[in-house]
Structure 1
Amino acid sequence: MASDGGGGGGGLVCVTGGSGFIGSWLVRLLLARGYTVHATVRNLQDEGETKHLQALDGAGARLRLFQMDLLDPASVRPAVEGARGVFHLASPVILHPTQDPQKELVEPAVKGTLGVLQAARDCGVGRVVMVSSQTAMVPNPNWPADKVIDEDSWADIDLLKELQLWYSVSKTLAEKAAWDFAEEQGLQLAVLNPVLVLGPTLTPSITGSLQVFLQIMKGQRFDMDEYFLGCVDVRGVAQSLVALYENSSAQGRHLCVESTERMVDFTNKLADLYPELPVQRIQEDKQEWVVRAKDPSKKLIELGVRFIPFDRIITDTMDCFRSKGLI
């Protein structure tokens, strides 16, 4: 069996979903730390997925791209073959209502996760680090009212379905499936649960959380009262993933957030920072269930992760938007 993660950089690792917002920063950090990287994309012919990765320092010698389909387990194996570790990020991100959420979100998230974990096990991979989400933690009606949300909290699947939060359903079911598989097969697994991920992007276009943030800055109101816990910079997410891989003692789930806060705090700070923009302040706080906390990601901080502060997260994101002519 290949050895598990540990120590500094080096060796071959696989990153699924390597072309995305988080994936691109993770690939960049891994290359900078001396790793050789197999990164998966959905379409090798799409320069929007490949060009920004191929331009990274070290990519010419130590990055190889693979085309992968989450619903085709056979397409996973070539990227995983020979890797010491796997970072599993690939999962559909659809935040608007869909006609068939089971087919578009839940199935690829769950089947894709199990396909990657099976390939990792078959190829003798020592350690898998998976990106889940804070949406796999909340809403949780049974959580104590005076307690800060932490890694012990799981989202209520029935409530998610009732609220039609299908992206949250997909992330929760995929993470639960991963833990079941790891336990049954004896696979070393660590999971990262980031909140709303912001910061500058290396990708040519913006998607997912950045699209939501851009719309908020342009005056749109997003109802995230059921699951918002704060924000985190994408560079901190990439750093957290590498820390989970390189510290083989890191176990279980890891909430990844700069500070736990409510939507009312978030939008008011944005409105204060950018009074010239039509950010809608929230008049009614519907998040009494969120207990505010500074430095709640204690497990990651103990691993040496240092989170970028809120003001810099926002200004760097806005600078990125302006450089792309989006705002």
Structure 2
Amino acid sequence: MPKFCFVELIEPAVKGTLNVLKACLEAKVKRVIVVSSGAAVGLNPRWPKGQIMDETCWSDKEYCRTTNNWYCLSKTEAESEALEFAKRTGLDVVTVCPNLIWGPLLQSNVNSSSLVLIKRLKGNKLSSVVRVSACDDKENFSAACLVAVGTGVFQFLYAYLNSNKQSLLSVYTEGYESLENRLRMIVDVRDVAEALLLAYEKAEAEGRYICTAHLIRERDLFDKLKSLYPNYNYPKNFTEGREDVTMSSEKLQRLGWSFRPLEETLIDSIESYKKAGILD
């Protein structure tokens, strides 16, 4: 495993989670809700093809390593360690696994999930990417990538370590003509907050909960965005690619969870980006 992957992603995820759980155990906290990710569920090539993933499915750690998917590995390691800690100590731990989280921002800076939507509206022209070019030191470049693009850090590092920063930046700053018509699993940040409250307050809550609301193809997502905001720079065509996995929040809904319409999430997200000066 590359050292920077362990230092930047996996070690903080696992140690940070366990440190909090140990403190909760010492403080006799009754229940701990750990926010994991759909990334800890969906990367499993052994899962039966076409079968909807539920809470029994875990991302395959070895597959994460062989495919260099360190983000998924960090989430899987942290969540599995949290549940193992619960078994060993008796601490009541419940985990919630959201997918792509959109919704209005509370802060002026942009997180990696919001960037997924913003770059689709801007045609991939991201000022936060350009700022990375100021980093000359490899270690600092790695840290800057994590801040700027979240899970996109590895594409940046690959090009950087191959002395190809300029061409990499052009990939991210030029607009795109086409996009893979992949499946997106989206949930509103406010609905995630409601899920966390339910998992904390409901006595019957236990184990893992997948938290996803809307399953939509990129083409259909852009059709919806264009009907709401027609003046942004959208891709002109779509390509068919890999077969995507799907997940179900049925277990969470049985707990009493519901979610708002996708259109509300999109409008509230975009209006908050505009208010923060992120979008024109």
Asked if Structure 1 and Structure 2 have the same fold, meaning a TM-score greater than 0.5 normalized by the shorter chain, the answer is: yes
Whichever residue aligns with residue 208 of structure 1, its letter is S
State how 1:220-239 maps to structure 2 within 5 Å: 220=124, 229-239=184-194
Percent of aligned positions that are identical: 35
Whichever residue aligns with residue 195 of structure 2, its letter is S
User: 3-state DSSP class of the match of 1:129?
Assistant: strand
Q: Quick check: 1:196–1:228 contact (8 Å CA) kept in 2?
A: no
Instruction: Find the aligned partners of 1:268 and 1:281 in 2 and give their Cα distance.
Output: 11
Task: State the partner residue of 1:307.
Answer: 259
Gap runs ≥5 in structure 1: 1-97
Instruction: Find the aligned partners of 2:245 and 2:220 in 1 and give their Cα distance.
Output: 11
Instruction: Find the aligned partners of 2:104 and 2:36 in 1 and give their Cα distance.
Output: 21
After TM superposition, give the deviation of residue 195 of structure 1 in Å: 0.5
Task: State the partner residue of 1:277.
Answer: 232
Confirm or deny that 1:209 pairs with 2:113: yes
Whichever residue aligns with residue 302 of structure 1, its letter is R
User: 3-state DSSP class of the match of 1:279?
Assistant: coil
- TM-aligned CA distance change 1:228 to 1:181, over 3 Å: farther
Q: Quick check: 2:183–2:244 contact (8 Å CA) kept in 1?
A: no
Gap runs ≥5 in structure 2: 126-151, 156-178
1:147-191 Cα offsets, whole Å, 9 max, x none, are 112212111222222332222211111001111111111111111
User: 3-state DSSP class of the match of 1:288?
Assistant: coil
After TM superposition, give the deviation of residue 282 of structure 1 in Å: 6.1
After TM superposition, give the deviation of residue 318 of structure 1 in Å: 0.4
- TM-aligned CA distance change 1:104 to 1:204, over 3 Å: same
- TM-aligned CA distance change 1:318 to 1:243, over 3 Å: same
Q: Quick check: 1:230–1:266 contact (8 Å CA) kept in 2?
A: no
Higher helix share: 2
After TM superposition, give the deviation of residue 116 of structure 1 in Å: 0.7
Q: Quick check: 2:183–2:215 contact (8 Å CA) kept in 1?
A: no
TM-score (norm 1): 0.63
Confirm or deny that 1:246 pairs with 2:150: no
- TM-aligned CA distance change 1:279 to 1:153, over 3 Å: farther
Confirm or deny that 1:258 pairs with 2:162: no
Instruction: Find the aligned partners of 1:267 and 1:99 in 2 and give their Cα distance.
Output: 38
Relative contact order (alpha carbons < 8 A, sep ≥ 6): 1 or 2 greater?
Answer: 2
Instruction: Find the aligned partners of 2:219 and 2:253 in 1 and give their Cα distance.
Output: 26
TM-score (norm 2): 0.73
